[in-house]
Amino acid sequence: MIPCNASMGHANDDSACIKIDSPCERLYIDAMAEDGNTMFEHELKRLEKRVDALVRVCDQLQDENKSLKQRQDTLTTERATLLQKNEQVRARVEAMIGRLKAMEQGG
């Protein structure tokens, strides 16, 4: 309990508690409510900032993920093209080797 001014007509009794009358109690409750509201608003703003930061990180990760998927698609296409070209070159080299062997035997 909060002590009130002696001018409000309150006197201390033998116990450690001081009686709070209705006007003083109202001031105490209002002060506590304001402190609670201020703390709540501060915590709410802190959480809002954290959520905003998380949203920004999620947006960044989505952009990065999209970019990486596009890069993967490009690399997959390039790989398929290179494998096809490699197979064509192998076939041509094998054909040349076959012709050289035939020339050796016939020549």
Report the predicted TM-score, pTM, of the whole model to 2 decimal places.
Answer: 0.52
Two structure tokens written together for 4: 């009130």
Dihedral of alpha carbons 22, 26, 28, 29, sign: positive
The structure tokens listed for 67 are: 């970019």
pLDDT at residue 47 greater than cutoff 70: yes
Domain count, the chain: 1
Q: Tell me: the pLDDT tens digits for 23-33?
A: 667 666 676 77
For 9, the 3-state DSSP assignment is coil
Whether residue 1 lies inside any domain: the answer is no
Q: How many CB atoms lie within 10 A of CB 15?
A: 7
Higher pLDDT, 56 or 18: 56
Q: How far is CA 45 from the centre of its chain?
A: 17
pLDDT at 6 over 60: no
Residue 31 forms part of a structural domain: yes
Domain membership flag for residue 86: yes
Residue numbers of the domain that contains 27: 6-106
Residue at token pair 């062997």: 101
| 56: in domain | yes
Tokens at 6, concatenated = 């002696």
At residue 62, the pLDDT reads 98
Does residue 90 lie within any of the structural domains?
Answer: yes
